[in-house]
Structure 1
Amino acid sequence: MAEPVVNGREEYGPHFVQSVARVLAVIRTFDAERPVQTLGEVSRETGLDRATARRLLLTLADLGYVSSDGRTFELTPRVLDLGYSYLSSLALPELAQPHLRWLARELNETAALAVLEGNEIVYVALVPSTRLAAVKIDVGTRFDAYATSMGRVLLAGLPEAELEERLAYLHLERKTSRTVGDVDTLRAEIEKARAQGWALVDSEIEEGLRGAAAPVRDRAGRVVAAANVSVHAGRTTPELVERDYVPMILRTVRLIEADLVSSAAG
């Protein structure tokens, strides 16, 4: 359920515009599991009364972000403009793309770049491979960070106090039989990723999907993104991924970081 926005001014201060927060809350109720919703469902998920939810949905429809058949509502492709404005303002995906293309070509696998947003990773650059066609991943795709290789290295890059705060409130959901099941195990995996400088996750986000990732750091040494390669588990083993894939991912990360530093200096 989306977090109700009822006391924004008290929580955030006199600058807070509650109507903006409510519109965003309405948009965020739509996802892969609920692409089409009724007014009642949106009202329930946001905690807004039906009249308010209806006005917001109709306003979004007037602006072209929502469509309706009179009973149900769904987002339109125009919503992608909101995310594109953010992605197009980032230098990092553009800088990373040629290096990801090289990595994908050399390994004949899918290569990607993601950033951490809340407790999720968000794909911001991607070079897909037809060998991973069964898995639907696009720029803008989100996954729970705890169950992915990119998420592990991004979490490992957080200050210790922030990491512990996130872990204290994290809800772990088993997505496969191999998904990490408790916070202590997850913490150990994050510490391992931090110590070795990369992470390998095997069939935790989806059965048969294996991924390896390394962090991308800015000129100040802060982890700002993660690069990874995803492969079907049937084509390799964790040992081969570590031996053959991880060194190439680390090389790719170093090249991205070099371009990032040069871009900032320029």
Structure 2
Amino acid sequence: MGAPQGDWYVKSVEKTFTVLGAFTEEEPLQSVSEVAAKADLSRAAARRFLLTLTELGYLSTDGARFQLAPRVLNVGSAFLSSLTLPAIAEPHLKQLSADLQETASVCILDDVHVVYVARVTSPRLVSVAVQVGTRFPAWATSMGRVLLASLDDADLQDRLARSDVRRFTPSTVPSREALQAEIRTVRERGWSVVREEYEEGLSGVAVPVHRGGRVVAAANVSLHQSYGRAAGLEEILLPRLRRAAEDISADYGIRLTG
């Protein structure tokens, strides 16, 4: 995404969100020097931003390192509340999860990532730490590939060019060429399955959720070993997932026209 143009643009706002973006799930604790490097700021400037955000309650510190504070959830919670999709999706995900005894989720596309906005966890899922607000690289997930497949070619190529496509596990798609071929297949058949490409033990199948004739989200079900390469997936799981996505789309469409 190119830098915005215009005399209205406030550079300090961009820097503030760049500083907040330095804190990730993999690196939740950051020193002043680490944030300065990630945000391309001087150490003095990074310190001022960090101390200001701490004073405002968006960060906390032990004196040496900083981390996000619970107040940052206010922004995300406001977005989820205004979206209404989570509330619409949840009863359908609960039914789907109960029918399949699997975890069911809905994600949206945020630039080159997918973000979980609704999730109903299977009772037997105990090890995969995924929750509402969790972000994954779109290209490496079934939900993301469904959403990427819905884009026009120019938009798709732009997002893939800005994605960090690399091998996470032995099962990860081996090249960008193979990834693009897989996304073309998803576009043609209307669903995606990804098996342990981003994290071992994390597999899933996804289909699109529509609103007003366009894809706005992806519905996903986690995959258990009992679902074979084709039979169990296409005969049992996929039809039920599609039905749930259609029901979510129908209810979400009512909000659009009602």
Matched AA of 2:159 = R
**Matches of 1:132 and 1:175, distance apart in 2:** 22
Deviations along 1:68-105, whole A, 9 cap, x unmatched?
Answer: 11111111111111111111110212111111111111
CA contact (8 A) 1:95 1:259 kept: yes
Pairing of 1:43-82 with structure 2 (within 5 A): 43-82=36-75
The answer to whether 1:121 aligns with 2:96 is no
CA contact (8 A) 2:112 2:160 kept: no
Moved over 3 A (4+): none
The equivalent position to 1:238 in structure 2, one of 226, 229, 236, is 229
The answer to whether 1:258 aligns with 2:246 is no
**Matches of 2:44 and 2:193, distance apart in 1:** 48
- What residue ranges of structure 2 are gaps of 5+ in the alignment? none
What is the TM-score when the length of structure 2 is the normalising length? 0.95
CA contact (8 A) 2:139 2:160 kept: no
**Matches of 1:61 and 1:210, distance apart in 2:** 38
**Matches of 2:105 and 2:31, distance apart in 1:** 35
Displacement of 1:106 after TM fit? 0.4
Pairing of 1:69-148 with structure 2 (within 5 A): 69-148=62-141
CA contact (8 A) 2:190 2:208 kept: yes
The equivalent position to 1:223 in structure 2, one of 215, 222, 233, is 215
The equivalent position to 1:195 in structure 2, one of 188, 195, 198, is 188
Deviations along 1:118-155, whole A, 9 cap, x unmatched?
Answer: 11100000001122221011000011111111011000
**Matches of 1:198 and 1:247, distance apart in 2:** 11
Matched AA of 1:223 = V
**Matches of 2:235 and 2:203, distance apart in 1:** 14
**Matches of 1:181 and 1:80, distance apart in 2:** 36
Aligned to 1:262, what secondary structure does the other structure show? helix
Matched AA of 2:227 = T
What is the identity percentage for the equivalent residue pairs of Structure 1 and Structure 2? 47
**Matches of 2:111 and 2:257, distance apart in 1:** 29
**Matches of 1:168 and 1:76, distance apart in 2:** 33
**Matches of 1:196 and 1:88, distance apart in 2:** 32
The answer to whether 1:206 aligns with 2:206 is no
| Number of the residue aligned with 1:24 | 17
**Matches of 2:158 and 2:34, distance apart in 1:** 31
CA contact (8 A) 2:105 2:220 kept: yes
Displacement of 1:161 after TM fit? 1.6
Pair 1:140–1:222, CA change in 2 (3 A): same
Displacement of 1:236 after TM fit? 2.6
CA RMSD in angstroms comes to 1.6
Aligned to 2:206, what secondary structure does the other structure show? strand
Farther off after superposition, 206-215 or 102-111: 206-215
Matched AA of 2:238 = V
**Matches of 1:128 and 1:203, distance apart in 2:** 18
Give the length in aligned residue pairs. Answer: 257
**Matches of 2:189 and 2:55, distance apart in 1:** 52
Aligned to 1:132, what secondary structure does the other structure show? coil
What is the TM-score when the length of structure 1 is the normalising length? 0.92
